[in-house]
Amino acid sequence: MLMQTHEARLDGLRKELAKRGLDGFVIPISDEHMSEYVGSYAQRLKWLTGFGGSAGSAVVLKDKAAMFTDGRYTVQVRDQVDGKLYDYEDVPATSPAKWIAEHAAQGSRIGYDAWLHGIDWAETAGKQFAKKGIELVPVDGNPIDAIWGDRPQPSLNVATPHDEKLAGRSSAEKRAEVADWLKREGYDATVITALDSVAWLLNMRGTDVDNTPVALSYVLAHADGTAELFIAPEKVTPELAQHLGNAVTVRPRDQFLPALASFAGKTVAVDPQHAVAGIFHALETGGAKVVREGDPTVLPKAIKNAAEQRGQRDAQARDGAAVVRFLRWLEIEAPKGGIDELTAAAKLLAFRQAGGVLRDCSFDTISAAGPHAALPHYKVDEDSNIPIPPSSIYLVDSGGQYADGTTDITRTVWVGPGQPTAEMVERNTRVLKGHIQLAMQTFPQGTTGGALDALARMHLWAGGVDFNHGTGHGVGSYLSVHEGPQRIAKPNGPYPGSGTELRAGMILSNEPGYYKAGHYGIRIENLVLVVPAQIESEGDYLAFETLTFVPLDRKLVDKRMLSEAEIGWWNRYHAKVHEILAPQLEGEDLAWLTRECAPL
């Protein structure tokens, strides 16, 4: 019997927990790879509660339950999750472990799925609970799976080789680099669990997760340069097998857990940031010596080689032309009324698809009208969809996955008729000034993203306002649109990676914003590449090369607030936009581009 309501699902979970002798259970948004975006089979939190955000968790006790989200989802969680069933809890003011310690009775047994939680969380929570006489218990099989009658199965779509010309390096070279690291450190093997790391290491892509071109799989990389790929046999074509070669042994995915038990007496490196607690438990139970080390593919994956940089520029140019066609269409149609958020998102996708080479979106398009634009991570669906009101601000944050690159761009535009308010123009201009400040900055080698974050906020701070998200995230090469380890964010904020040194070849977003709750939101986002700075300097200096080329809305800019240097940046940027996009456009699209790229 299918449980149709969230109340019935919550009741069903409590009955299942009682059968297992458990007094509570923790439900994260996660899969067995600790992915940011997870396949439909792993959307346990959404199925149980209705919450559709990309970050959050829930705790269910016998007589009480709570949802945990951060400031990005304060509004969304209240719209999607029934307050009669769940308390709303704000992170980082509290956490699931802290809340359980306060609300669970002494002697309680709290279950968790060790294949969905990191080892650091499991160990910290276990110690925290022990002080209160509460036991943290790894479950044998997820109890939600036992009651989710129509749960989708993991994808069996085939995995495919990624063209070495686009990758810039062979898989053999990458595996040799990992093997050299293992030998230097005295390790026998390392477990590669993050799906984008597996994809990068083997030059392999897939379609198992929406928006991210990865295949559900694990890799054991050995110090002799060989590797074992654990993947469903149905996903392996003769072409992929030939691509992987003799040095990569392909094994069924269900043999991964037994393989972890085969390292008795050997030293295995595992990344606690990317590997679930279950992997640590299995290795330790099997007699391996487990060393907690960072994934050795993360940094080389983040530093794009010449081929990847070239591919990214090509993808951005192609993507920019599609966005320009969309913005011209929007300028004509939206002021008439009758265009809603979903229609706009679908139209933008159609313009991207018209080029014939789009593989996927790089994330769910944020198509946000009016007050929805004030929600930085808004996701439009049939229930939330609203018309784009004439005489309002519209924000669209979107991206594409192409074989040669991953794009991510946000544009905020004024939908006529009439003119934006003075406040809207003033706020947008402050966001623009922060964007330009970061885009123009040079900095010494060794600088972290956290050290640069204030540049994007300084003009907003001067006006007594700020934004509650990071300024920039790393971006993959036909991989994850959110890629570590680098990030531009407040050093003391909730986002990991702000302390990572920025290195030439890394790609990041530059996306300051401003959000007036209940009214409107503004964000300007381009992608940038870290490159050697072309200045006279004492020592090695770096700079940002802008990669994204699409006009910015001049109706939302007060030129009087801009310095000569900022006006110079605007004009140089738009001249480059025209240079790159004009050859791809014609007729009215080209005329629109030329008008929008005129000097300020």
What's the number of CA atoms in the CB half-sphere (13 Å) around residue 66? Answer: 17
**DSSP three-state, residue 26:** strand
- pLDDT at site 433: 98
Burial label for 238, CB within 10 Å (0-12, 13-18, 19+), is exposed
Which one, of 365, 367, 357, lies nearest residue 317 by Cα? 357
Question: What is the C-alpha separation between 221 and 227, in angstroms, rounded?
Answer: 4
For residue 1, what pLDDT is reported? 52
Residue carrying structure tokens 């969304």: 76
At residue 178, the pLDDT reads: 98
- The predicted structure's pLDDT at residue 49: 97
- As a whole number of angstroms, the distance between CA 174 and CA 189 comes to 15
Note the pLDDT of residue 144.
98
pLDDT confidence of residue 470? 94
pLDDT for the residue numbered 374:
95
Per-residue pLDDT of the chain (600 residues; tens, 9 = 90+): 567 899 999 999 999 999 999 999 999 999 999 998 899 999 999 999 999 888 899 999 999 999 999 877 888 899 899 999 999 999 988 999 999 999 999 999 999 999 999 999 999 999 999 999 999 999 999 999 999 999 999 999 999 999 999 999 999 999 999 999 999 999 999 999 999 999 999 999 999 999 999 999 999 999 999 999 999 999 999 999 999 999 999 999 999 999 999 999 999 999 999 999 999 999 999 999 999 999 999 999 999 999 999 999 999 999 999 999 999 999 999 999 999 999 999 999 999 999 999 999 999 999 999 999 999 888 899 989 999 999 999 999 999 999 999 999 999 999 999 999 999 999 999 999 999 999 999 999 999 999 999 999 999 999 999 998 999 999 999 999 999 999 999 998 777 788 999 999 999 999 999 999 999 999 999 999 999 999 998 999 999 999 999 999 999 999 999 999 999 999 999 999 999 999 999 999 999 999 999 999
Residue 543 and residue 401: Cα distance in Å, rounded?
26
Helices (H) and strands (E) in the chain, counts: 19, 28
The rounded distance, in Å, linking the Cα atoms of 530 and 547 is 10
Instruction: Quickly list H helices, 357-483.
Output: 422-440, 449-462
Its pTM stands at 0.95
pLDDT of the residue at 597: 98
Which ranges constitute the DSSP H helices of 186-276?
Answer: 195-202, 238-244, 256-260
